[in-house]
Amino acid sequence: MSRSIALVAISIVALFTPNIAFVAAAALAMIVVQALDAVIGARSKDRTKTVGPAITAAVNTAALVWLLTT
């Protein structure tokens, strides 16, 4: 829970920060957390805890690539 609260706080700060590097770092942190959650879900053989975080990580990765290439 504390990890999620910290990421929400970072995300809110990123909304008001014009620094692309900070926004990219925040996005990367969220991608890593979601990917690890997907791995944990896969190891526990829980499809819901695997697919949801994996899709979120993939969408966030696509958004990060878009951010860095535009």
pLDDT tens, residue by residue, 13-46: 888 988 999 999 999 999 999 999 999 999 999 9
- Specify the pTM: 0.84
Total tally of structural domains belonging to the chain? 1
Residue 1 has pLDDT above 70, yes or no: no
Q: Which domain holds residue 31?
A: 2-69
Output the six-digit token pair for 34: 């979601």
In a 3-state reduction of DSSP, which class is residue 42? Answer: helix
Q: What's the CA angle centered on 48, arms 47 and 51, to 5 degrees?
A: 75
Contact (CB, 8 A) for 19 and 41: no
